[in-house]
């Protein structure tokens, strides 16, 4: 497996060669690739000693597919420093993740498993004069200074995607909180 990233390194593994200890670069890593029809590539990794991004790039080059449906298995990030975790997260966010437009799941109104149409829920604009906003604004200007500290930056650059599931049989709507992504597309 070729190593293309500079932040993913296999360190601390040793093997015996010619009666001497030498550092093992784990060049014989394995991963299972599954091309799911109309979904994309599913990558099942072992320990991912070369790094999950190197494994992902190798899988995409080998299969000639760009759409990734899921990555399952080890990411080899135990004991990794913050810089490596941040670089790995940034690279994973660049991967185009796509979900299905229709799934079969349990409908509480029908009390059975039925087909559901999937859409991504988008929150509407907040009302500026709602009582909660007015009360918070008033509390923020409290006597003697600021009651709540202003948040200068947020720690998370992504949000959990909320999926809206509409039953095709009875038109009941269910909302499901998904995984944390920058962008989710439906196929």
Place of tokens 């320990």: 47
Q: In the chain, which residue ranges form alpha helices assigned H by DSSP?
A: 52-63, 82-94, 131-140
> Who wins on pLDDT, 155 or 116?
116
Strand order in the sheet with 112-120: 102-107, 112-120, 159-167, 173-181
Structure confidence at residue 15 as a pLDDT band (50, 70, 90): confident
* Distances 28 to 15, 97, 144, 172, 187 between C-alpha atoms, Å: 13, 27, 65, 50, 34
> What's the average model confidence in pLDDT over 125-147?
76
* CATH (residue range 102-143+156-186): 3.10.450.80
Domain boundaries, the chain: 14-96, 102-143+156-186
Q: What is the mean pLDDT of residues 106-113?
A: 94
How large is the average pLDDT for residues 127-139?
A: 82
* Band of pLDDT at residue 64, cut at 50, 70 and 90: confident
Q: Is the pLDDT of residue 2 over 90?
A: no
Tell me 164's DSSP state.
Answer: E
How wide is the angle at C-alpha 138 spanned by C-alphas 137 and 141, nearest 5°? 90
- In this predicted structure, the answer to whether residue 179 has a pLDDT above a threshold of 80 is no
- What pLDDT does 114 receive? 95
For residue 41, give the nearest of 55, 30, 29, 28 by alpha carbon.
55
For residues 87 and 93, give the distance between their C-alpha atoms in angstroms, rounded to a whole number. Answer: 10
Longest alpha-carbon distance in the chain: 77
Instruction: Give mean pLDDT, residues 172-187.
Output: 76
Q: Is 143 a residue whose pLDDT tops 80?
A: no
């Amino acid at each position: 497996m070729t190593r293309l990233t500079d932040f993913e390194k296999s360190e601390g593994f040793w093997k015996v060669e010619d009666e001497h200890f030498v550092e093992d670069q784990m060049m014989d890593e394995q991963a299972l690739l599954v091309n799911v029809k109309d979904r994309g590539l599913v990558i099942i990794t072992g320990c991912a000693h070369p790094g999950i991004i190197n494994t992902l790039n190798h899988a995409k080059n080998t299969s000639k597919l760009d759409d990734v449906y899921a990555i399952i298995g080890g990411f080899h990030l135990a004991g990794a420093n913050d810089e490596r975790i941040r670089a790995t997260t940034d690279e994973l966010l660049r991967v185009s993740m796509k979900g299905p437009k229709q799934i079969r799941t349990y409908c509480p109104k029908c009390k059975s498993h039925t087909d559901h149409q999937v859409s991504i829920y988008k929150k509407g604009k907040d009302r500026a004069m709602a009582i909660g906003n007015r009360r918070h604004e008033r509390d923020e200007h409290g006597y003697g200074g600021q009651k709540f500290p202003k948040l200068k930056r947020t720690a998370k650059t992504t949000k959990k995607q909320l999926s809206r599931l509409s039953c095709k049989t009875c038109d009941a709507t269910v909302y499901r909180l998904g995984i944390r992504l920058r962008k989710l597309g439906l196929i």
